[in-house]
Amino acid sequence: MKALAKTRPAEGLELIEAPVPEAGPEDVLIKVRRAAICGTDIHIWNWDEWSQKNVPVPMITGHEFSGEIVAIGKDVNRPLKVGQRVSVEGHVIDLNSEAARAGHFHLDPNTRGIGVNRQGAFAGYVAAPAFNVIELPSDVSDDVASMLDPFGNAVHTAQQFDLLGEDVLVTGAGPIGIMAAAVARHAGARTVVLTDINDYRLELAQKVAPGVRTVNTTREDLHDVIHELGMKVGFDVALEMSGSPIAFRQCVDTLIMGGGLALLGIPSKPMETDWGAIILKALTIKGVYGREMFTTWRKMLGLLNAGLDLDPLITHRFDFADYREGFEVMRSGKSGKVILNWEKAA
């Protein structure tokens, strides 16, 4: 099969011939139809400090994908079928860990990531534990299904606080931030403000999350926007999706007393924090990692069924052989989700 791999400790990825993986007794083998390029894949392409510490070489990358089951391990007892359309929870856990035994699967400290430190889905086929497989309803397209992993990040972050009737700030208009803004709207927030410094993505957000007030913070002051929208004090909840120290400070500055701050964006390096402001405002801060297995998946499929439309977030589609162009577009910052078609890779 064809596969996209990090073959050496340097920038870039290479298209290689690789053996089709075998499904273990508790695994399924999936023929990949679509795979989306993620921010993590960009880190791996760039071979930055994080990638050097976390990604073994060689490694087939890619973890946002959809496909169909072509083989099922002999010990799988879930009612899965060959030919079934599926996506996969990309965090592979140890079911014997203390967290898993307590039912907190997403908090397993020994989690391994498909396409990060376990062979991934930028390939004709990928093997995954049957436990992680998500059956797809017929009304979810292959393209949208390949984005369920990051959509789950957005939903999980939005789940941290009650958003009904609240004023919500989302910082960072990358694909996950845009999806989080759309989720907040569907969750019944009174107002949703989405900030960034990238006009392309702020304009894209208007297509995915109509009614969201977008703000380029290089040109507008959030305090002026608060006044414009009729808020008496500030935001009730902030969802920080960018990892930017500036955005973090804006969240702390504009939240009300007792407000809630959910952090998904990871800073590229340690940052200074005014803990006094956080303490004196009595803010509640929650770190968010991955998706809650498998409550988040049920909720995100429910949101799609209820009419949340992610199709406008897909701005580029490429055949897998044109992966270099896909990565260039994603790295440019002038894209939403970039989808690779892998149907002819095997």
- Tell me the CA distances in angstroms from 162 to 189, 238, 341, one per residue in order: 9, 11, 37
Length, in residues, of the chain = 346
Of 40, 111, 191, 296, which is the active-site residue? 40
- Interatomic CA distance for residues 87 and 85, integer angstroms: 7
- Interatomic CA distance for residues 342 and 2, integer angstroms: 9
Of 43, 63, 106, 156, which is the active-site residue? 43
Is 43 marked active-site?
yes
Residue ranges of E strands in 241-336 = 255-263, 284-287, 314-319
**Residue ranges of the alpha helices (H) in 229-320?**
245-254, 275-280, 295-305
Is 295 marked active-site?
no
Q: Are 6 and 55 in contact (CB under 8 A)?
A: yes
Token digits for 22? 């075998």
Identify which of 9, 89, 16, 15 has the alpha carbon closest to the alpha carbon of residue 44.
9
Rg of the Cα atoms in the chain: 20
Q: How far apart are the first and last CA of the chain?
A: 5
For 280, the 3-state DSSP assignment is: helix
- What does the DSSP 8-state code read for residue 23? P
- Interatomic CA distance for residues 88 and 211, integer angstroms: 31
Q: Are 11 and 45 in contact (CB under 8 A)?
A: yes
Identify which of 62, 59, 42 has the alpha carbon closest to the alpha carbon of residue 7.
59
Catalytic residues: 40, 43
